[in-house]
Amino acid sequence: MNTVLEMHKAVDRLNLTLPARDYPLLTMRAGLCTGKVIVGDAGSNEFHDYTAVGDSVNTAARVGNRQ
């Protein structure tokens, strides 16, 4: 939880510098959920990615997308 709060603070600090450079303000969302997940390389020889899957990942994604 502290990491997410620190990330939000970092975005807030960065946003203070953006208008002077004509950049748009940034927003950030993060979702946290604890539980068991499966992590590893997924995909084929042509395309693969290191990823995490499981109910906890899906729940965190939904929590992070709340407005």
pLDDT in tens, 31-64: 788 899 999 998 888 888 999 999 998 888 887 6
Give me 51's structure tokens.
Answer: 């990823």
pLDDT tops 70 at residue 16: yes
Q: How many residues does the chain have?
A: 67
pLDDT tops 90 at residue 17: yes
Whether the CB-CB separation of 42 and 48 falls below 8 Å is answered with yes
| Cα dist from 26 to 13, 18, 30, whole Å | 10, 9, 14
More confident residue, 65 or 32: 32
Q: Select from 65, 36, 66 the least CA-distant residue to 52.
A: 36
Whether the CB-CB separation of 18 and 24 falls below 8 Å is answered with yes
